[in-house]
C-alpha cells in the first residue's frame, strides 16, 4: 500500500509530533508499505524539496515559519497551508496516487488539501487529532467566541469532514463529539500517542555535570511553553521549594510564554529552576535519561483529555511522571491505574508540593513508577500497535477486522 502522511512538523523538528510521525512512517516502511511525507518548511530552497530519508520519501514545501512567529503571522501562514502545499506538490501527488492519507492535527488547516487528494485518488483518510481547537483556546482565555472563532470553527469542522475516521488521544475526548457535534457524522476512536521502543537512549551526555546538578533530584519538563501548559504552575512550585537545595526543576523548550516565564524566574531570583532552549531529539532523549522525574503541566481551565506528547519520552526513558492537570482529564485515572506516576489538579498547590516531596524523598517509589512507565511502551504506546490499528480499518486483507472494530466508534 502507498501511504501519504501530512503533518506540520517532521524531523529535523524536535517536537513530539515530528518524532511520532517519523516513527510511524518508518514503521510502515518496515511493514512493506511505500510512504510519502508532505510537510511545510521554512528552510528549503525553491517551492519544494524532495529527499529520501530512512526509505521514506519526504517532501518539504516552502512556507514561512509556523512555530516561532507571531500569532497573527502564524495564523495567516497556517490558513494558507492547503493552497500552498497543493500548488507546490500537485504534480507529484497526481503522479503517485495513494490508497490512504493519514493527517495530523494540529493544524486544523489541512481539510481542503485532504479533500482534494481524496477526490483525485478515491482513497481513505485517517485524522490523528491531538488538539481540539479552537475549543481549548476559548477555555484557556486565549480566544473569544467572535468572528475569528467562527472562522476557526469552520476550518475545524472541515478537517473532520475530510476524515473517514478520527483518532483522539483519550476516551474523554469522544464526549466532545457526542455532546457538542453531530455524533452520527463522525467515526471516532481512541488512538494513543506512540513511540518506537527499539530506540534506547543512553546516559552519555553529561548534562548533570554541565548544569551542576550532580547531587540533586531533577524534575524535568520538555516541550512547548505556551498558554495551555500554564508553566506558572511549575514556577510557583519551585518558589515553594526554595528551602530544599536537593530539588531542581529543569525546563527545556520554547513557546509563546517562554520569555515571560524566564523573566519571572529572574525577577523572583529563583535559583532552583531554569529554562533551556530546545535541542535535537537525540540530545533531548540523552538529557532526559539522566534525570529523575518527568513533569506535565496543563492549564486547569482546559476541558480536553490531553495525553501530551512529552509523556512518551518519559515512558521511553522509564521515568516516573508527575502531572498537574485540568479537572476530569483521563490522564489522572490512567496514571493511578498503571502506577506510573502521580496526578494532581492544577491549582491544588499543596498536593503538588506533597507529591514532589514524596518522589524526592523515596527513590524506591521513583524506581517502581519508572519501571511501570517503561512497561507502557510495550503494552499501550507501541508504534507497531498504533500502525496496525490505523491500517486495520483500510487494509483490504483485514475487512473482517474492520467489522469487528466497529464497536470502538461512536
What's the full length of the chain, in residues?
410
Give which of 228, 284, 272, 265 is closest to 247, Cα–Cα: 272
At 239-290, the pLDDT tens digits run 999 999 999 999 999 888 999 999 999 999 999 999 999 888 788 888 899 9
3-state secondary structure 303-366: CCCCCCCHHHHHHHCCCCEEEEECCCCHHHHHHHHHCCEEEEECCCHHHHHHHHHHHHHCHHHH
The pTM assigned to this predicted structure is 0.77
Report pLDDT for 151.
Answer: 93
pLDDT computed for residue 7 by the predictor: 95
Q: Specify the pLDDT at position 131.
A: 85
Angular region, 294: left φ>0, alpha ψ -120 to 50, beta rest: beta
Helical spans, DSSP H, in 212-289: 232-240, 258-267, 281-289
Spatial distance between the Cα atoms of 171 and 168, rounded to a whole number of angstroms? 7
Q: Tell me whether the omega of the peptide bond preceding residue 107 falls within 30 degrees of 0, making it cis.
A: yes
Given strand 217-222, what is the order of strands in its sheet? Answer: 273-276, 247-252, 217-222, 293-297, 321-325, 341-345
The pLDDT value recorded for residue 402 is 39
Residue 360 near residue 217 (C-beta atoms within 8 A): yes
| Cα–Cα dist 94/382, whole Å | 33
In this prediction, residue 223 carries a pLDDT of 87
pLDDT of residue 268: 94
Q: Which residues pair with 276 in a beta bridge?
A: 252
Is 133:159 a contact under the CB 8 Å cutoff?
A: no
| Low pLDDT (below 50) residues in the chain | 397-410
Amino acid at each position: 500500500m502507498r501511504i501519504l502522511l501530512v503533518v506540520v512538523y517532521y524531523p529535523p523538528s524536535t517536537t513530539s509530533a515530528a518524532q511520532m510521525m517519523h516513527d510511524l512512517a518508518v514503521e510502515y516502511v518496515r511493514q512493506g508499505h511505500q510512504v510519502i511525507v508532505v510537510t511545510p518548511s521554512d528552510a528549503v530552497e525553491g517551492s519544494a524539496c524532495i529527499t529520501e530519508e530512512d526509505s521514506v520519501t519526504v517532501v518539504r514545501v516552502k512556507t514561512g515559519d509556523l512555530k516561532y512567529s507571531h500569532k497573527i503571522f502564524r495564523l495567516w501562514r497556517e490558513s494558507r497551508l492547503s493552497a500552498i502545499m497543493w500548488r507546490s506538490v500537485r504534480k507529484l501527488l497526481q503522479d503517485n496516487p495513494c490508497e490512504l492519507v493519514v493527517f495530523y492535527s494540529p493544524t486544523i488547516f489541512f481539510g481542503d488539501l485532504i479533500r482534494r487528494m481524496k477526490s483525485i485518488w478515491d482513497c481513505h483518510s485517517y485524522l490523528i487529532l491531538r488538539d481540539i481547537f479552537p475549543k481549548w483556546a476559548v477555555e484557556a482565555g486565549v480566544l473569544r467566541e467572535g468572528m475569528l472563532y467562527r472562522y476557526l470553527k469552520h476550518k475545524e469542522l472541515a478537517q473532520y469532514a475530510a476524515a473517514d475516521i478520527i483518532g483522539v488521544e483519550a476516551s474523554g475526548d469522544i464526549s466532545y463529539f457526542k455532546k457538542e457535534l453531530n455524533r452520527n457524522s463522525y467515526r471516532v476512536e481512541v488512538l494513543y500517542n506512540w513511540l518506537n521502543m527499539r530506540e534506547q537512549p543512553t546516559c552519555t551526555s553529561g548534562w548533570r555535570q554541565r548544569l551542576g546538578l550532580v547531587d540533586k533530584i531533577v524534575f524535568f519538563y520538555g516541550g512547548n511553553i505556551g498558554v495551555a501548559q500554564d508553566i506558572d504552575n511549575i514556577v510557583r512550585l519551585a518558589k515553594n521549594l526554595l528551602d530544599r537545595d536537593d530539588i531542581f526543576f529543569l525546563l527545556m523548550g520554547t513557546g509563546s510564554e517562554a520569555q515571560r516565564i524566564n523573566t519571572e524566574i529572574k525577577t523572583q531570583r529563583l535559583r532552583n529552576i531554569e529554562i533551556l532552549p530546545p535541542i535535537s531529539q537525540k540530545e533531548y532523549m540523552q538529557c532526559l535519561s539522566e534525570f529523575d522525574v518527568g513533569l506535565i503541566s496543563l492549564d486547569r481551565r482546559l476541558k480536553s483529555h490531553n495525553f501530551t506528547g512529552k509523556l512518551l519520552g518519559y515512558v521511553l526513558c522509564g521515568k516516573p511522571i508527575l502531572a498537574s492537570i485540568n479537572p476530569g482529564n483521563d490522564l489522572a485515572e490512567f496514571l493511578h491505574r498503571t502506577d506510573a506516576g502521580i496526578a494532581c489538579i492544577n491549582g491544588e498547590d499543596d498536593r503538588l508540593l506533597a507529591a514532589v516531596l514524596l518522589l524526592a524523598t523515596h527513590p524506591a517509589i521513583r524506581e517502581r513508577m519508572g519501571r511501570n512507565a517503561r512497561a507502557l511502551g510495550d503494552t499501550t504506546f507501541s508504534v507497531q500497535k498504533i500502525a496496525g490499528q490505523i491500517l486495520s480499518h483500510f487494509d483490504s486483507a483485514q475487512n473482517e477486522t474492520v467489522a469487528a472494530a466497529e464497536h470502538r466508534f461512536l
